Structure 1
Amino acid sequence: MAKRLLDFRDRTAIAGVGYTPFSKDSGVSTLTLACRAILAALDDAGLTADDVDGLATHRVGDSAAPSLVGPALGIDDPAWHLDQFGGGSVSHAVVAQAALAVAAGVAETVVCYRAINARSEFRMGRAAGTSPELQYQTPYGYFAPPQQYAMFARAHMVKYGTKPEHFGQVAVTQRANAAKNPRALMRTPITMDDYLSSRWIAEPFRLLDCCLETDGACALVITTAERAAGLRRTPVLISGAAWGGGMSFLSTDDPTVSAAATLAPRLYGQAGVGPGDIDVAQIYDCFTYSVLVQLEDYGFCAKGEAGPYVASGATALDGELPVNTHGGFLSEGYVHGVNHIAEAVSQLRGDAGDRQVPGAEVALSTAQPGYILPATSALILRRG
């Protein structure tokens, strides 16, 4: 499987990143958010909308489609576009597909974006009719992501002795990172006592186990590695990109294994690296548990050992594998996956300020690990 895309390695690059402010009430439409983030990313790369011939996004009825964003920016006839249905599971696949389009010569400069008014408007529920399993879950009041993830987290606790304090360490560590991030919504440091005293959402999850519903947008400029080398910023090469993964826990009868375990060998094989080569990781943290299970399934520690691993300080900024250096979705804000990729870019460019990981050369960024929807996606990026 890994041989299919080996020639794709390092042929494309992320040349620019852009954000809007993250807030609880943006006061503008998702179309406006998308355009602002795209223009910021283009400016970061030293480009303009006239240079763009491709647009890509993912959404679940809660954003602005390329067919709207293009005309709003004066991009009337893009050579390629992608309007991917789906949530966090496909966030990194969108970038991967844009990179494939660039590598194939279908487009030269593609902007990937995600715009969302998840806090001031609403995100959940619009896509309910497309998920057939919900008809069996909803009568029992079991349909929200915290409820679903709580079941997997509890299974991990039962099987491996994972403790609430292990979940709490993820929240505390990421808040410490967010305190160094001027973009983060939540910057006040928290203690383990703060975590343990936060209110219940869906046991074993407390409030501080859950990501922040956020208004905001983030965008990335994808172009060829050769072109990126001549632009304004240090290029970040896309060394590996994989999506799919299946629902491995259904086939193994083990709910403590996510689809990331199936995807990881293909991703590492494509990039020509292994877990030991990763300097910094941005791991999808819709909930604290998703960080733990992915640390295991991407091979950074053995199965069942993620709790003690984070408790050891391994994922702190000065640890062996700094994780979610911007604070993650738990503390920076939740832009459905794309802000993780943007943070990985900042780390590899060396412009992350007080939260910079010294000498970061290779980064992993991951999507929702495939629990709620039967797919996941991930990228391995390298400093150009």
Structure 2
Amino acid sequence: MGEMDIGNTRRDAAAVAGVGHTEYSRNSGVTTLTLAVRAIQAALADAGLSRRDVDGVACHRVGDSADPALVAQTLGVRDLRFVRDVFGGGSSCIAPLDAAASAVAAGQARCVVVWRALNGRSGVRMAGAASNPALSADAQYWLPYRHISAPQQFAMFARMYRHKYGVTAEDLGRVAIAQRAHAALNPRAMMRQPITMDDYLGSRWIAEPLRLLDCCLESDAAVALVVTSAARARDLRRTPVTITATAFGGGNQLASNHHSDPTVPGAAIMAPRLYAAAGLGPDDIDLAELYDAFTPLVPLQLEAYGFCEPGEAAHMIADGATRLGGALPVNTHGGHLSEGYVHGLNHVAEAVLQLRHECGERQVPGAEVALSTAQPGVYSGLTGAVILKRAA
């Protein structure tokens, strides 16, 4: 059985039947266990299901969240048939969804809840003083130079990308401005005040050439999804959104992969497999929720996933193609830059809501197919993505 056949066996067999969020805040005042359970309960209610229906759990985390077995016990799951606990941050955000879809398609479980919960602002902050740099093998090369925080690392990538393609500060500013405009239409978003180019250029340096408005938010929040079979989902409360295809790939780490070009991420190598598994191409995608820990990752992925040629994404963004009303609306909820940072799972949730046509003022008219991505493989050994489809 070839790669494409493997992808086809699971195409559209499982569906996201429910979506749940907690409040996005800077200080939740509760544990990540509480956040996880609240988001899961909201997702189950959205689907018209209860805790008694759950027989599988799946999450991703970096030592900053609740054990999925504990979450299952807290939910009162008595016959737990499936557990997936994925270590990893944004690069791994598609993995628990993929695992849930596979378990449902194989008959291993009937209803799997997928979540990400973190106190990313009031608790352990990513790559802060309280984090564990030993988790990365490359840390031995970074620490002597105090080059450990995510903004420092991605600033190096931003310099390479800008130099290679002549990308300007204003090009990156347009990413932040467009996503803030989308967030202004999103009641959940942490940052809803529109920004101008002057606001962007006037924001303080974090790690040159990255400014404050180039960087994602730090958030306390949880997001959850309910995954069940496509057949069962049709009998539930909401319009089903099927999981058409997922794919995974590798990535670059500058210290250890010095022979590779970080401006050609793992996502670019992986994307053809994703489209082949889905039986679709870039022209079939109605909207894209692209992992945006930092602004340069948005144009990088527009190129990697074939929406434009390498080096052309800045022009695509300047022409308005990625705004609501454009040819390919991107990060319609405001993304990590303006809605909140829930490590990629909030992007999947937004894609589902868009395909259910429930996004109000920010709705992409007639949306049928969406792409949601993980971190594209910059400073990470992994990447992933999912294509979702509104059920007929």
Amino acid at match of 1:107: A
Partner of 1:342: 349
Shift in Å at residue 244 of structure 1?
Answer: 2.5
Of 287, 290, 298 in structure 1, the residue corresponding to residue 294 of structure 2 is: 287
Shift in Å at residue 233 of structure 1?
Answer: 0.2
SS in 1 for 2:167: coil
Partner of 1:215: 220
Deviations 1:83-131 (A, max 9, x none): 1100000101110111001101100100000100001111324342221
User: 8 Å contact 1:113–1:338 — kept in the other structure?
Assistant: yes
Of 59, 72, 75 in structure 2, the residue corresponding to residue 73 of structure 1 is: 75
Q: TM-score, normalised by structure 2?
A: 0.96
User: 8 Å contact 1:317–1:357 — kept in the other structure?
Assistant: yes
Partner of 2:51: 49
Distance 1:252 1:265 in 2: 23
Identity in percent = 60
Distance 1:30 1:248 in 2: 30
Partner of 1:269: 276
Residue 359, structure 1, aligned to residue 370, structure 2: no
Partner of 1:116: 118
Return closer, same or farther for 1:251/1:320 CA change in 2, 3 Å cut-off: farther
Amino acid at match of 2:188: R
Partner of 2:137: 132
Matches within 5 A, 1:172-191: 172-191=177-196
Range moving further from structure 2, 4-13 or 321-330:
4-13
Amino acid at match of 1:325: T
Shift in Å at residue 309 of structure 1?
Answer: 1.1
Partner of 2:16: 14
Q: Structure 1: state its 5+ residue gaps.
A: none
Shift in Å at residue 77 of structure 1?
Answer: 3.1
Return closer, same or farther for 1:236/1:31 CA change in 2, 3 Å cut-off: same
Distance 1:128 1:379 in 2: 29
Shift in Å at residue 252 of structure 1?
Answer: 6.5
Partner of 2:155: 150
Shift in Å at residue 246 of structure 1?
Answer: 4.1
Of 47, 53, 65 in structure 2, the residue corresponding to residue 63 of structure 1 is: 65
Of 227, 239, 248 in structure 2, the residue corresponding to residue 243 of structure 1 is: 248
Shift in Å at residue 136 of structure 1?
Answer: 1.2
Partner of 1:377: 384
User: 8 Å contact 2:252–2:379 — kept in the other structure?
Assistant: no
Shift in Å at residue 67 of structure 1?
Answer: 1.3
Shift in Å at residue 38 of structure 1?
Answer: 0.1
User: 8 Å contact 2:133–2:148 — kept in the other structure?
Assistant: no
Return closer, same or farther for 1:279/1:321 CA change in 2, 3 Å cut-off: same
Distance 1:77 1:123 in 2: 35
Q: TM-score, normalised by structure 1?
A: 0.98
Residue 368, structure 1, aligned to residue 360, structure 2: no
Residue 37, structure 1, aligned to residue 17, structure 2: no
User: 8 Å contact 2:112–2:226 — kept in the other structure?
Assistant: yes
Distance 1:131 1:254 in 2: 20
Matches within 5 A, 1:298-313: 298-313=305-320
SS in 1 for 2:386: strand
Deviations 1:20-58 (A, max 9, x none): 000011011100000000000000000000000000000
Of 164, 170, 173 in structure 2, the residue corresponding to residue 168 of structure 1 is: 173
Matches within 5 A, 1:200-211: 200-211=205-216
Amino acid at match of 1:225: A
User: 8 Å contact 1:366–1:378 — kept in the other structure?
Assistant: yes
User: 8 Å contact 1:17–1:45 — kept in the other structure?
Assistant: yes
Distance 1:198 1:328 in 2: 19
Shift in Å at residue 254 of structure 1?
Answer: 1.9
Distance 2:111 2:31 in 1: 25
Shift in Å at residue 68 of structure 1?
Answer: 1.1
User: 8 Å contact 1:55–1:110 — kept in the other structure?
Assistant: yes
Q: Structure 2: state its 5+ residue gaps.
A: none
Deviations 1:221-266 (A, max 9, x none): 0000000000000000010111223449848732211110011011
Matches within 5 A, 1:67-106: 67-106=69-108
Range moving further from structure 2, 142-151 or 373-382:
142-151
Shift in Å at residue 143 of structure 1?
Answer: 1.3
Distance 1:73 1:379 in 2: 27
Residue 141, structure 1, aligned to residue 139, structure 2: no
User: 8 Å contact 1:62–1:123 — kept in the other structure?
Assistant: no
Distance 2:259 2:327 in 1: 31
SS in 2 for 1:288: coil
Distance 1:358 1:175 in 2: 20
Count of aligned positions? 384
